[in-house]
Amino acid sequence: MTRNFILAPLLAVLALGAQAQTQKIGVINMQDALVATKDGQKAVADLRSKYSPKDQELQKRQQELTAKQEQYRKTQNTISEAAKATLERDIDSMQRTMQRDVDDVKQDMDADQQRMVNELGQKMMQVISKYAADNQFTAVFDVSGQPNNILYASNTADITQAVIALYDKAAPVTPSAPPSKAPATSSAIPRPSAPTAPKPAATIPAPLKK
């Protein structure tokens, strides 16, 4: 009886150990996976194409503003006070207008990027769930998230490339309306180059008060 009393807990521990060994854990880099799919590549290209003309326009306006600032710097000691005041008002107006437009473009870009991530992320989650179920994974962790608490993962546990291949093979159609919820992968899609805000003219005093 004493022997059975000792063996029973031991057998239970061994059984739990055997069960733990059968668990299959996978890792995926969601950031790489989303942008590597054909849908992801097209979405990023579309986003860049949409905002590239606006970015070029803002860069041209920045050059015009810089030229106006340079004109002020070179002539401020030789032109009349009235002409100098006019230049100051022009520069101040250009700076304010450009800053407002930069902020508007950034806001629109953020909204479009979030809609893109929502659509791609929700479809990617369906593919991951199917792959995990078909291959008997107990859990899948995203290693692109921050903070990342995974200290070590074998290369054999990385399912990123397999999921990308499965996603492209399934070739799901992007829904016309953005889903209401999506996984937390807002940083997954690389942004197009955001327009640069105008630099303040440090050498230009504030417009003269009337």
Mean pLDDT, rounded, of the chain: 78
The CATH number that applies at residue 72 is 3.30.910.20
- What does the pLDDT read at residue 154? 80
Asked whether the predicted pLDDT for residue 19 surpasses 70, the reply is: no
Q: What is this structure's pTM? A: 0.65
Q: What is the pLDDT of residues 86-102, one digit of tens each?
A: 999 999 999 999 999 99
Whether 38 maps to a domain, the answer reads yes
Across 10-24, 35-49, 62-76, 162-176, least confident range: 10-24
Whether 51 maps to a domain, the answer reads yes
CB 55 within 8 A of CB 195: yes
- What does the pLDDT read at residue 146? 76
Whether 113 maps to a domain, the answer reads yes
Cα of 68 vs its chain's centroid, Å: 35
- What does the pLDDT read at residue 71? 93
How much of the chain, in percent, has pLDDT values that exceed 70?
A: 71
Q: How many Å apart are CA 27 and CA 143, to the nearest integer?
A: 6
Domain boundaries, position 36: 23-170
Whether 28 maps to a domain, the answer reads yes
Asked whether the predicted pLDDT for residue 151 surpasses 80, the reply is: no
Whether 11 maps to a domain, the answer reads no
- What does the pLDDT read at residue 68? 95
Cα of 64 vs its chain's centroid, Å: 31
CB 198 within 8 A of CB 65: yes
Exposed e or buried b per residue across 114-153, where buried means at least 16 C-beta atoms within 10 angstroms of its C-beta: ebbbbbbbbbbeebbeebbeeeebeebebbbbeeeeeeee
> What domain count does the chain have?
1
Whether 18 maps to a domain, the answer reads no
- What does the pLDDT read at residue 8? 53
Q: How many Å apart are CA 46 and CA 140, to the nearest integer?
A: 30
Q: Is the peptide bond before 147 cis (omega within 30 degrees of 0)?
A: yes
Q: How many Å apart are CA 128 and CA 6, to the nearest integer?
A: 44
Q: What is the pLDDT of residues 134-150, one digit of tens each?
A: 999 999 999 987 777 77
Which of the four pLDDT bands, split at 50, 70 and 90, describes residue 197? Answer: low
Please tell me whether residue 194 adopts helix, strand or coil conformation: coil
Q: How many Å apart are CA 33 and CA 164, to the nearest integer?
A: 6
Asked whether the predicted pLDDT for residue 110 surpasses 90, the reply is: yes
Sequence-ordered strand ranges (E) for 62-108: none
- What does the pLDDT read at residue 156? 84
Q: Which of 173, 165, 159 is nearest to 120 (CA)?
A: 173
Asked whether the predicted pLDDT for residue 35 surpasses 50, the reply is: yes
Asked whether the predicted pLDDT for residue 208 surpasses 70, the reply is: no
- What does the pLDDT read at residue 183? 39
CB 58 within 8 A of CB 195: yes
Q: What is the pLDDT of residues 54-70, one digit of tens each?
A: 999 999 999 999 999 99
Whether 155 maps to a domain, the answer reads yes
Asked whether the predicted pLDDT for residue 180 surpasses 90, the reply is: no
Whether 157 maps to a domain, the answer reads yes
Q: Which of 83, 86, 62, 29 is nearest to 201 (CA)?
A: 62
